[in-house]
Structure 1
Amino acid sequence: MSRDLHLSRDVQAELDAHLPMDGRSFALAFSGGGDSLALLSRLKDHPGLKAVLHVDHGLREVSELEAQIATTLAQSLGHELVVLRWTPDGPASGLQEKARRARYGLMGHYCRDHAIETLVTAHHADDQAETVLMRVKRVSGWRGAAGMRVSRYAPVWPELADVTLCRPMLGVSRGRLRESLGTLDPIEDVSNVDTRFTRVQVRQELARNSTLKTDMLSLATAMAQGLAAETDRIKAELDGYHLTHEGLLSIPRLLSAPALALVAPIVGGQSGPADRRRIVEKLALLEAGDHIAIGQGCMGQWDGEILTLSRDLVALTGRRDRRLAATAVPIVISEKPTIWDGRFLVSGSAGQLHPERRGNHVGFRIHYGRNVQVKNLVQDRLQAALTGS
């Protein structure tokens, strides 16, 4: 595959092809760095752009100053910057991943509160090559080598629940994207050259070997085609499934390991997919007719005719050894949408939601509710997973 196929696409053509259409709104994740600044310069007059979001992680002494600079940069392009702040707590281990989840959590919360369906980021082809190489080094399997998708519903769960993450620049190189910077002076993040971070090490390795970058992008394309084919097979397996308003799923056949690995965390309200090696072991128990914990918050039972998948009752009762408390807890309903148990988005002018046991399933009931809306996120996630979006 030629280098130009991935790295020389027209920026505007990619934006036109991938940004939300039909008047739908979107928010832009904006660090003030060269990539997001270049993208904002392109999108500053787009009618769908409703918010420009910056997250101050508070991890460096200069983070507040960078937020101020980012505010000035956004204003120079005609947009008021929304600064969202995170205060790190707990152990310092895994800080990069915690910061990433916090970043998406804050932006996802803002989007839900303001009825914004899509969050746009400035990830580009060079980022894609870095991601694929990192996953190859971690032996993440062929699915991990497919890299990032241009558009995907809530890839960070539940932080981005009810929000689609759009990366319209994945087919464009960093250099091509930054051509639109002109005289704009972006923020330079010193962590981008800190070789203690794996991504920086990988970035430097790719910079030394342009052929490797092309190979990683070609690998991602091939593996993405494999993922699409697998999704089609799983969609066929799930033909005829029934999902109740409380998230109980039934299907008239025993699913394959890939299909069960995809569906189990969705029914269980967890991130996923599940570990496929463990799923193979669970399938043998299901085939024997046992009612078992599949993992990822999901229970399952196969009676020879119907496979039933439901939320694990541990969410309601906690573990017997008390090492895991109940997670499906009552909530006060408010006008701001609240994610409940990783499976529903609840809002209304008044009321309370209480979890309840329904046989071997976790259900819920509404007390004193007014104008209550309960959106079934299990359905949304299933639909997105089966369409590859």
Structure 2
Amino acid sequence: MPARLGPDLSTEAGLQALFAGVAGEPAIGLAVSGGADSLALLLLAQRWAASLDRPPRLHVYSLDHGLRPEAAAEVAMVLGVCQALGVAGTGLRWNGVKPDARLQEAARLARYRLIGAAMAADGVTVLLTAHHQQDQAETVLMRLAHGSGIEGLKGMAPQARIEGVRVHRPLLDVPPAALAGIVAAAGLVPAADPSNIDPHYERVRWRQAMPALAELGLDAPTLALFAERMGQADAAIAQLAEAGFAAMVTLDGFGAARIALAPFAGLNPAVATRVLGRVLNIVGGRQKPRALGQVERLRQAIVDNDLPRATTVLGCVVRIKDEAIAVAREPGRSLPADAVLAPHGELVWDERFRIINGSGATDLTASVADYLPRHRLEQFLGCKVTAPAEAIRTAPIVRDAAGGVLSLGGWSFDERITVQLLID
């Protein structure tokens, strides 16, 4: 099967296909650095919008990361192009002290935070980025080298949410040479960021290795097709894991989980790992959802009957009990401090519970339940409590100023309080 070709960018039909994922959006943001890829995205989006009877409002965001003196002029160039095209544009700057380590990652997160804040002020709800076919190929190679599973090897998704920003990547099927040609044809001279050729960065080293890999048949289109197929395989595993989760996982009001051992052990390893990873993610407060190796090793220990009496992983305590895998939140691991529950407000507690104050009360506080004797819990709940001690100790409890208990874990004893366990 040959690599799937992207849309023909020279035709109106091709433009419609390229931006189909955001068709109907009233306002669209574009992240434009001034490089060839993002300038091409701007040109293509402007042409697409101009072809519509009811075009969306386009708004460009260009960020000076404060890392190179040339960046300010590059932002000014982008804003000049916007003005010539009749597109609104905003220049932003990342101020403050920059980290010595993992600078590119920090810059990426700062970029989305700053652009996201600007989008919110402008009423823009989706951001287009210029990630293209070779970016996708480099991402696959990096993740392969880091030991990613199928979920990671599907590469960048066309739609994502990063730092709260809804992101759409329309150019993932488009080779960078095609984008450079669009910019040259428009008479624009793109900015050249020296960090894009600095071998200090891992992505650049993979980029520099691509020509040699292409000679062996591992070129960008082939890697992009591989990512597409991994996406299909990931979707199939996710579907099976969803069914397995529904059939064999029970979550209680303290946020603990039980997985039926016999059916779990009979699952395909990839599906079982996905089920187990989701449970650890929910119970452990979503600490490291992509720590695949740890989850794989835990699954193997479970099916080999080689699990210690109790083991801790990803913020959870895991043990085998009564023909089930019992998973509870690990005490003392990044548990939240006491938090005031604002009037008519809500908070997400330990990334596990949503607690809602449906009243105007100002004296309500959510905290860790810590040590509560089971007999007292059973008085509150009116039933026998069999949850692991760790789950009880790490559940949230809401009290008023007089010390009255309004809720515990997922149970509410007062109509003013609603508690929801977060399972997605």
TM-score normalised according to structure 2 size: 0.66
Unaligned runs of 5+ in 2: 265-271, 370-391, 402-415
Q: 1:170 Cα deviation (Å)?
A: 0.8
Query: 1:259 pairs with 264, 275, 292, which one?
Result: 275
Moved more, 345-354 or 48-57: 345-354
Counterpart of 1:314 in 2: which secondary structure? coil
Do residues 73 (structure 1) and 81 (structure 2) align? yes
Counterpart of 1:314 in structure 2 is: 332
Counterpart of 1:330 in structure 2 is: 339
Counterpart of 2:298 in 1: which secondary structure? helix
Query: 2:367 pairs with 346, 356, 373, which one?
Result: 356
Counterpart of 1:239 in 2: which secondary structure? helix
| Structure number with bigger Rg | 2
Q: 1:130 Cα deviation (Å)?
A: 1.8
Counterpart of 2:386 in structure 1 is: none
Do residues 170 (structure 1) and 172 (structure 2) align? yes
Which amino acid is the alignment partner of residue 12 of structure 1? L
Do residues 201 (structure 1) and 205 (structure 2) align? yes
Distance 2:89 2:15 in 1: 23
Count how many residue pairs are aligned between Structure 1 and Structure 2.
358
Change (3 A) 1:122 1:353: farther
Counterpart of 1:230 in structure 2 is: 237
Counterpart of 2:41 in structure 1 is: 39
RMSD: 4.4
Distance 1:275 1:225 in 2: 19
Change (3 A) 1:345 1:73: farther
8 Å contact kept, 2:353–2:422: yes
Which amino acid is the alignment partner of residue 201 of structure 2? F
Q: 1:236 Cα deviation (Å)?
A: 1.0
Percent same amino acid at aligned positions? 29
8 Å contact kept, 1:336–1:347: yes
8 Å contact kept, 2:338–2:368: no
Do residues 273 (structure 1) and 290 (structure 2) align? yes
Counterpart of 2:229 in 1: which secondary structure? helix
Which amino acid is the alignment partner of residue 85 of structure 2? L
Counterpart of 1:164 in 2: which secondary structure? strand
Q: 1:329 Cα deviation (Å)?
A: 5.7
Q: Which has the higher contact order (CA 8 A, sep 6+)?
A: 1
Change (3 A) 1:52 1:91: closer
8 Å contact kept, 1:113–1:336: no
Distance 1:367 1:117 in 2: 38
8 Å contact kept, 2:340–2:363: yes
Distance 1:112 1:95 in 2: 26
Counterpart of 1:218 in 2: which secondary structure? helix
Q: 1:178 Cα deviation (Å)?
A: 4.1
Query: 2:31 pairs with 29, 32, 44, which one?
Result: 29
Query: 1:294 pairs with 313, 317, 320, which one?
Result: 313
Distance 1:306 1:357 in 2: 26
Counterpart of 2:241 in 1: which secondary structure? helix
Distance 1:113 1:260 in 2: 40
8 Å contact kept, 2:355–2:420: no
8 Å contact kept, 2:256–2:329: no
8 Å contact kept, 1:265–1:274: no
Do residues 56 (structure 1) and 64 (structure 2) align? yes
Which amino acid is the alignment partner of residue 246 of structure 2? D
8 Å contact kept, 1:289–1:303: no
Q: 1:136 Cα deviation (Å)?
A: 3.1
8 Å contact kept, 1:353–1:364: no
Distance 1:205 1:173 in 2: 17
Q: 1:55 Cα deviation (Å)?
A: 2.7
8 Å contact kept, 1:238–1:251: no
Query: 1:191 pairs with 187, 195, 202, which one?
Result: 195
Q: 1:360 Cα deviation (Å)?
A: 3.6
Which amino acid is the alignment partner of residue 294 of structure 1? V
Which amino acid is the alignment partner of residue 15 of structure 1? L
TM-score normalised according to structure 1 size: 0.71
Change (3 A) 1:342 1:33: farther
Q: 1:125 Cα deviation (Å)?
A: 0.9
